Amino acid sequence: MPLCPRFGTRLVCLLGLLVSGSVLAQDQSGGSDPVQPVTPAATAGAQTPAPDDTSNTPGPDKRVFGVLPNYRTAQLTGTYTPISAKQKLIIATKDTIDYPLFLLGGGMAGLAQLSDEHPKFGQGVEGFAHRYATAYADQAIGNYMTEGIMPILLREDPRYFMLGPEGGSFGHRTWYAATRIFVTKTDSGGTTFNFAEVIGNSIGAAAGNAYYPGETHLLDNVSRLAQALATDSISQVLKEFWPDVKRKFFMRHKDSLLPPSSTLGQ
């Protein structure tokens, strides 16, 4: 099966969820959720694991556009603090059981059914159920491999450290975000090739041989791997620029609803 139909299906679903979720994000822009992504500690020179309890840790929104799971995003700072193995598994679990993943699975299954992807699944309710289950399995296996298991074994940090508005030009930030699927931090604070991302998604692609009948050739596995890497790359670009979009559109809209300062107190 060629890459384009599969990747196109996932991209259309992702964009559709982001558009529909923008309304939810606008409603939530005035407050912060108590469960936030893990962020580096502010203590200079700290190299010890951060506490396992992250419920009160401030950080980026837990969902981009109110939809895309954003638990593993942190702000890039001059100080790096690694996270524990438990925290890596927590991030993977949150990214896997968050409700948008179930919506994404349904959207992908619906589009795959319309285009008759994976024809051996058939049509009707049974065909949709097969497509839904496999789409969610792809997400769940990929998340646990790239954010939990492999980062623990390889001692890599699964988080995406965004540059933010101070990080340079639009082009620089886009290139940085898109290429983090190949570059990551180690638990010791260094930089290395993102083995956890590539190997983890490779394992996920190979696991698809068990539930994609007739799609077990090398090209099928390469296609699933390329789709996973491309999806993660695009997701990181969206995460990088979501704070800019939120400030420019949603916060401005909220401020426009406030009465002029001159009328306050009258």
- pTM value is 0.73
Helix orientation angle between 124-143 and 218-245, rounded to the nearest 10 degrees: 70
d(CA 244, CA 162): 12
What does the pLDDT read at residue 115? 85
Q: 94 vs 1, which has greater pLDDT?
A: 94
User: 201: pLDDT confidence band, cut at 50, 70 and 90?
Assistant: very high
Half-sphere exposure in the Cβ direction for 243 (13 Å, CA) = 17
Task: Tell me the C-alpha distance between 262 and 173, whole Å.
Answer: 39
**Contact assessment for residue 194 and residue 184, using Cβ atoms and an 8 Å cutoff:** yes
| Per-residue pLDDT tens over the stretch 107-118 | 888 888 888 888
Listed in order, strand segments (DSSP E) in 118-181 are 160-162
Q: DSSP label at 37? A: -
What does the chain come to in residues?
Answer: 266
| pLDDT tens, position by position, 12-46 | 555 555 544 444 444 444 443 433 444 443 333 44
Helix/strand/coil for 84: coil
